[in-house]
Structure 1
Amino acid sequence: MDDNQHVPSAAALLGLLQQFTVETDRYVEAVSSSHDLHRTDLNALAAMVAAAREGRTMTPGALRTALNLSSPATTALVDRLDRAGHLARHRSEKDRRQVHLEMTESARATGSQLFSPLASAIGPVIGALSPEELHTVMTFLQGVIEATVAARKDVTPSHEPSTGVTPDVPVTHRAVQE
């Protein structure tokens, strides 16, 4: 057996990142379907959490841009989340024409219920890292995120913004590049 088979490589690391992405997609699909939520609903709530964390106000236009949705798809999404009790719409105090979107406590509770099992499962893995290892992993992941965002921005869209409807294709049938 060749000793080089045990040497980590960039290709092996990219393969692990790809596998992690597939498994997180599978997890999100499983939890979203078990709570009658669309994948786009969860993406919208995640975008709202990120905006709140950064101190930004989420508007329907900002949500449309964040999710690359058409205006009609954004309206349908906001209406669906509003009906489900996951967001509230408020008029801006500065400009009454502008609508601000806020997550409700119901959305926070649902998010916690959906993602606490994943956090509990990953927590011990993170906890086993030394502070130096944790710093290295965080630096690496931040770089990977920034590189992914840059690569996405370089992609020329070949279609109009999404309608928010995802094809009914099981994860196991997705093409995987080696």
Structure 2
Amino acid sequence: MSDQGREELAERAEPGPEMEIVHLLRAVVVDLGRSTARFAQRNGMHPTEVRALIALMDAARAGEEITAGRLGSELGLNSAGTTALVDRLERAGHVRRVRDARDRRKVSIEVEERAVALGRSHFGPLIDRAVELLRGYDERELAAVRRFLTGMRQAAD
């Protein structure tokens, strides 16, 4: 590595408030991943199935229908993998396929209330704590947190 490369690396690794926040974010991501893995294991699910349920619930919250094709695209799965995933989730009673009333060829995937309740039983306390923490922030601070997390999501994409 060149001297300039070492200097650039050292500058990026220097401790400071920005790097402290980056490391805290990384720790939160790791902790959330472990929590998700525990949830998946306790409920006989693969982590991809949990990610699928989250994507489906996010779409429902946004008022959007989600087809198997869109779900597969969001999860980075091919058609066969998506079909197998939806089949497993349907057999477990976590989702249902719903045919469009106007176009019977179009099938959307919806989360069953049972799956929502299962997720709430595990993640509810964490969500409640996050809401409690956020209620301690003023509008300016909330805007900064929102701007940072939105920027990080865009960077990760």
> What interval of TM-score do these two structures reach, taking the shorter chain for normalisation?
0.7 to 0.9
Tell me how far apart the structure 2 counterparts of residues 47 and 140 of structure 1 sit (CA, whole Å). 25
**1:146 maps to which residue?**
150
Task: Trace 1:53-92 onto structure 2 (pairs within 5 A).
Answer: 53-92=61-100
* Inter-CA distance 137–31: structure 2 relative to 1 (3 Å threshold): farther
Q: Give me the CA root mean square deviation.
A: 2.0
Q: Which runs of 5+ in 2 are unaligned?
A: 1-14
* Inter-CA distance 91–71: structure 2 relative to 1 (3 Å threshold): same
The answer as to 2:57 corresponding to 1:49 is yes
The residue type equivalent to 1:85 in the other structure is G
Q: TM-score, normalised by structure 2?
A: 0.81
Tell me how far apart the structure 2 counterparts of residues 68 and 108 of structure 1 sit (CA, whole Å). 23
Query: Which deviations, in whole Å up to 9, do the C-alpha atoms of 1:124-158 show, x marking residues without a partner?
Result: 4344x14x1xx3453234323432343344xxxxx
* Inter-CA distance 152–119: structure 2 relative to 1 (3 Å threshold): closer
The answer as to 2:123 corresponding to 1:115 is yes
Q: Tell me if the contact between 2:134 and 2:142 (Cα under 8 Å) persists in the aligned partners.
A: no
**1:166 maps to which residue?**
none
The residue type equivalent to 1:22 in the other structure is V
Tell me how far apart the structure 1 counterparts of residues 51 and 97 of structure 2 sit (CA, whole Å). 18
Query: Which deviations, in whole Å up to 9, do the C-alpha atoms of 1:27-50 show, x marking residues without a partner?
Result: 111121111111111111111111
Query: Displacement of 1:23 after TM fit?
Result: 0.7
The answer as to 2:106 corresponding to 1:98 is yes
Tell me how far apart the structure 2 counterparts of residues 84 and 60 of structure 1 sit (CA, whole Å). 17
Identity in percent? 32
**1:37 maps to which residue?**
45
Query: Which deviations, in whole Å up to 9, do the C-alpha atoms of 1:87-141 show, x marking residues without a partner?
Result: 11111112111111111121111111121232244454344x14x1xx3453234
Tell me how far apart the structure 1 counterparts of residues 63 and 130 of structure 2 sit (CA, whole Å). 27
Query: Displacement of 1:68 after TM fit?
Result: 1.2
The residue type equivalent to 2:95 in the other structure is L
Query: Displacement of 1:72 after TM fit?
Result: 1.1
**2:35 maps to which residue?**
27
What is the number of equivalent residue pairs in this alignment?
Answer: 143
Higher helix share: 2
User: Tell me, what secondary structure is at the counterpart of 1:102?
Assistant: strand
The residue type equivalent to 1:28 in the other structure is T
Q: Tell me if the contact between 2:39 and 2:122 (Cα under 8 Å) persists in the aligned partners.
A: yes
The residue type equivalent to 1:150 in the other structure is Q
